[in-house]
Structure 1
């Protein structure tokens, strides 16, 4: 599609001298009139008039954007016009129907700010928050205020991954506040059912608001470093808990049982060291045998004179001998061996087992630290 540039604002023949522009004698007849009046040759003045007429029509539309309503114009359905400072759109084909009082044929279109303000009144902040008024309109500011207010009401606690506190919030750290500085939050505290004395707050109710000094101050809940547990509210899962009360760490009661496998009635086998190969000493009292003897010449020559002087040896020149006689006793070797030892039965029994403790100074699940803030 070809897009045309905006035409210049000049009007054809707008600088013509007097007499150089003459009205066309018969617009509905067109150039045919020239054969009757000028021999088929239209004069310059007519051309100047026709060019000027066309340019003025273009300028008219460029200035107004929409043409003014005409009582003699045929308007098709969907045509746009202006009338008495207001724009209209044709609902049906029509002619001679003034838009200002012909509501069947025309409808208002493109309302002005002044007309909008007459029909619609901007809502107040209270109306925007209430959301019940049907006669006012919502401005961007009121929409933004309503969104913020509806999503973050006074007293609401939110958690954010930030160390910065945005406008409209306070750290939920048990700070002592002025009732006059934070009237809406103080009003909320009074109707929350979680407002207690300063003494009780310090004992075990840091999840509540406190009355502060009783006249000019109050205190916010302090949830730093705490896990949040939903209030039991009569369900009897967390029996007897009051709203905002603190609870110390605890594990469910349990025992640890440990034992060794029981040993049935049994005996223990024991063995002494092997003694190795050895003998045993035996005492023999001994005995004597009678004998005869004779001393030979060869024997005498072999003994010294001292021995010959021995009357036991001399014996009339014969030698002496006894008949062989043994004791009749012999003890065999014991050989390599061991000795069995019997140990008394221990009986059926078990053994004591010690289970060592472990852990830190609290019970906790895996967790992430975020900042808790309260809306004021």
Structure 2
């Protein structure tokens, strides 16, 4: 079966398409589609498949990036707002965290007060809390792989720094020594008359004539040597800013409802 020519429909036929010709063309188109899809087909998915049409239906809960400040039609900003569940039934069905996690989930939970979502959590609340993706990076859900262990879908993750080492700069250092020099004095002590006295005092002496011993001694003296403190010069450099960043572009993250 041949389809009617494009000229019959797009207004380029000369002379101009008549009403009778249009009726014939539409009848031919109807017969072609009936033969392709069946007389009473209401299976849209099957019809799309037969026609080679890509399914363009976007499911509720899907995230989208937009280089715009305004959410497009059919989308909501992922800004942590609490929206009326009944008004977004498909979205609620897609992203609600479930009754068991309603008390702890960071988003996707129900509440009763949109002005205070976290403080009014309720499994029967009329509002659904959206994820707040503003200023955040998205990470693929681990889903049992074992890289991001123990994460649940409705949770936030704080920043962390991978364990690493810092290089140390040590230019070496030296201590200075101060030595002003010193001297010992030498002088005589009172004479001894017995060897025991000399032994008791520990002085060194010698005999002078036969009258006894005369003692001479060397007095002690401090050296005055000093060793001064010195800085090591060792330094460990710091680097980085107030957060860990990768090169990036800013986009508005929205969620389909």
Give the shorter-chain TM-score range: 0.5 to 0.7
Indicate if the aligned counterparts of 1:262 and 1:350 stay in contact, CA closer than 8 A.
no
Q: Following the alignment from structure 2 to structure 1, what is the Cα–Cα distance between the partners of residues 175 and 129?
A: 76
RMSD: 4.4
Q: Note if 1:113 corresponds to 2:26.
A: yes
Runs of 4+ residues deviating >6 angstroms? 122-126, 192-195, 266-272, 343-346
What CA distance in whole angstroms lies between the structure 2 residues aligned with 1:248 and 1:164? 28
Post-superposition CA distance 1:7-29 (Å, at most 9, x none): xxxxxxxxxxxxxxxxxxxxxxx
Instruction: Give secondary structure in 1 for the equivalent of 2:86.
Output: coil
> Could you say which residue in structure 2 is the equivalent of 1:233?
143
How far does residue 344 in structure 1 lie from its aligned partner after superposition? 8.9
Q: Which residue of 2 aligns with 1:32?
A: none
**1:194–1:162 CA distance, 2 compared to 1 (3 A):** farther
Q: Secondary structure at the match of 1:225?
A: coil
Query: In the alignment, what sits opposite 1:148?
Result: 56
- What's the offset of the Cα at 1:161? 0.7
The 5 Å alignment of 1:247-262 reads: 247-261=157-171
The equivalent of 2:65 in structure 1 is 159
Partner SS state of residue 170, structure 1: strand
Name the structure 1 match of 2:131: 221
Residue 268 of structure 1 deviates from its aligned partner by: 7.5
TM-score normalised by structure 1 residue count? 0.38
Q: Point out which structure has higher relative CO (alpha carbons under 8 A, 6+ apart).
A: 2
Q: Which position in structure 2 is the counterpart of 1:100?
A: none
Aligned residues: 179
Answer yes or no: is 1:131 the counterpart of 2:131.
no
Kindly name which structure, 1 or 2, has the bigger radius of gyration based on alpha carbons. Answer: 1
Deviations 1:303-357 (A, max 9, x none): xxxxxxxxxxxxxxxxxxxxxxxxxxxxxxxxxxxxxxxx8999xx992624354
Check conservation: 2:110, 2:128, Cα contact below 8 A: yes
Q: CA deviation at 1:156?
A: 1.0
Would the alpha carbon gap of residues 113 and 267 (structure 1) be closer, same or farther in structure 2, given more than 3 Å must change?
closer
Unaligned ranges ≥5, structure 2? 1-14, 113-122, 181-224
Counterparts of 1:178 and 1:185 in 2: how far apart (Å)? 10
Provide the rounded CA distance (Å) in 2 between the counterparts of 1:267 and 1:220.
66
Alignment partner of 2:243 out of 348, 359, 362 = 362
Q: Structure 1: which 5+ runs fail to align?
A: 1-61, 63-84, 87-109, 273-342
Aligned pairs for 1:96-107 (under 5 A) are: none
